[in-house]
């Protein structure tokens, strides 16, 4: 926070240059435990773009976040040094694979400093290059909340769209399908191949109907059973939530989670060995009210609380 007495958390929320959660903007990640990162990229979207605008609006709405969690009483800023390291810089924005390489490079620098990343997208294609940077000797486990499996082989003849990241991550050995759970899946498709990949490779898939039947507590138990004690990543697509709450997204599907169900689900992941997370697919042009970004910022805060505990437990 610097030597002076200025504390952005106590300043009026509309003041200053917006950063995630009003944390300090930090250029050198080696001074941090957890880095909040913007990944303003939506070049891998087939239908409705706009998620490139996500980080900026999420930063703005995240000024509504405070420090102490009302249920767990976790204060992530007491457990960890948290800062906003800015946005991934893109050298060739019209080239998907070059842009993904820029993302990987950025996260490799964070990973080399031992920093845990919590990112705001961007479309869901960004998770693959993030995993390329942070998956170590051992593939990651994953809790994936989404209306879509994002396990397609190709989309519009591209292997690197926002519909393919988790299939590629399994193929590249970054993601352990046996330690992966997908929650909230729904909506019609033109082919079943994106649904078929997961079960065929051991991914536990909870469609929204099973979620409703089991209830959130049993889904939490199932998620904990699947990912176990190993290093685990959380990837949260805002279209997992019902578009009544998050209309600002490219591929909305009705009949989704409520924000409270999503919050409860995340809180149920407390104590896992969480090594990173992202919240993706916020597309501000479809929700200028900012409510989708408010939901995303709040989900980021919920995840930040868990990451800060996991980080301090590893120290």
Determine, following the binding rule CB under 5 A, whether residue 60 of this chain makes contact with Mn ion.
Answer: no
Out of 87, 150, 242, 278, the only residue in the binding site for Mn ion (CB under 5 A) is: 150
Please report how close the Cβ of residue 147 comes to Mn ion at its closest, in angstroms. 5
H helical segments located in the chain: 54-61, 76-79, 96-112, 127-134, 165-171, 193-200, 208-214, 216-227, 259-267, 291-314
Structure tokens at 175: 């993601």
Out of 51, 142, 147, 296, the only residue in the binding site for Mn ion (CB under 5 A) is: 147
Please report how close the Cβ of residue 67 comes to Mn ion at its closest, in angstroms. 30
Size of the site for Mn ion (CB under 5 A): 7
Nearest CA-CA partner of 140 in 234, 21, 37, 54 = 234
Q: Interacting stretch for Mn ion, rule CB under 5 A, among 67-75, 88-96, 123-131, 263-271?
A: 123-131
The 274-280 sheet, strands edge to edge: 82-87, 34-39, 116-121, 274-280, 232-237, 140-145, 175-185, 204-207
Determine, following the binding rule CB under 5 A, whether residue 239 of this chain makes contact with Mn ion.
Answer: yes
Nearest CA-CA partner of 88 in 297, 278, 299 = 278
Total count of residues recorded for the chain: 315
Determine, following the binding rule CB under 5 A, whether residue 237 of this chain makes contact with Mn ion.
Answer: yes
Please report how close the Cβ of residue 309 comes to Mn ion at its closest, in angstroms. 26
- CB closer to Mn ion out of 33 and 237: 237
Q: Scanning the structure block, which residue is given the tokens 């120290």?
A: 315
Determine, following the binding rule CB under 5 A, whether residue 123 of this chain makes contact with Mn ion.
Answer: no
Distances (CA, A) of 180 to 158, 202, 218: 24, 8, 16
Task: Identify whether 192 is preceded by a cis peptide bond (ω within 30 of 0).
Answer: no
Q: Interacting stretch for Mn ion, rule CB under 5 A, among 83-91, 121-129, 212-220, 298-306?
A: 121-129
Determine, following the binding rule CB under 5 A, whether residue 278 of this chain makes contact with Mn ion.
Answer: no
- CB closer to Mn ion out of 42 and 237: 237
**What string marks each residue from 154 to 173 as x (binds Mn ion by CB under 5 A) or -?**
--------------------
Q: Interacting stretch for Mn ion, rule CB under 5 A, among 18-26, 204-212, 231-239, 263-271?
A: 231-239
Cα angle: 44, vertex 140, 221; to 5 degrees: 105
Out of 146, 242, 302, 309, the only residue in the binding site for Mn ion (CB under 5 A) is: 146
- CB closer to Mn ion out of 110 and 147: 147
Binding site for Mn ion (CB under 5 A): 124, 146-148, 150, 237, 239
């Amino acid at each position: 926070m610097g030597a002076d007495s200025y504390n952005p958390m106590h300043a009026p929320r509309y003041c200053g240059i917006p950063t995630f959660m009003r944390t300090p903007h930090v250029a050198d990640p080696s001074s941090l435990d957890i880095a909040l990162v913007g990944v303003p990229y939506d070049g891998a979207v087939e239908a409705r773009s706009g998620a490139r605008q996500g980080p900026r609006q999420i930063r703005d709405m995240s000024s509504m976040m405070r420090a102490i969690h009302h249920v767990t009483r976790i204060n992530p800023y007491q457990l960890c040094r948290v800062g906003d390291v800015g946005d991934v810089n893109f050298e060739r924005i019209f080239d998907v694979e070059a842009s993904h390489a820029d993302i990987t490079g950025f996260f490799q620098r964070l990973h080399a400093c031992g920093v845990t990343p919590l990112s705001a997208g961007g479309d869901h294609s960004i998770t693959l290059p993030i995993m390329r940077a942070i998956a170590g000797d051992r593939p990651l486990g994953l809790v994936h909340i989404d209306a879509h499996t994002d396990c397609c082989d190709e989309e519009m003849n591209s292997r690197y769209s926002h519909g393919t990241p988790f299939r590629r991550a399994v193929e590249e050995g970054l993601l352990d399908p046996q330690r992966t759970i997908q929650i909230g899946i729904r909506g019609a498709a033109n082919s079943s191949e994106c649904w078929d990949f997961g079960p065929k490779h051991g991914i536990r898939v909870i469609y929204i109907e099973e979620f409703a039947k089991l209830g959130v507590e049993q889904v939490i138990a199932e998620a904990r059973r699947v990912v176990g004690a190993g290093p685990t990543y959380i990837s949260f697509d805002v279209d997992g939530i019902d578009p009544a709450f998050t209309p600002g997204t490219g591929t909305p599907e009705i009949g989704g989670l409520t924000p409270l169900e999503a919050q409860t689900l995340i809180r149920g992941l407390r104590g896992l060995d969480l090594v990173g997370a992202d919240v993706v697919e916020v597309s501000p042009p479809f929700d200028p009210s900012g409510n989708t970004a408010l939901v995303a910022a709040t989900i980021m805060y919920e995840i930040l609380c868990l990451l800060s505990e996991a980080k301090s437990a590893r120290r």
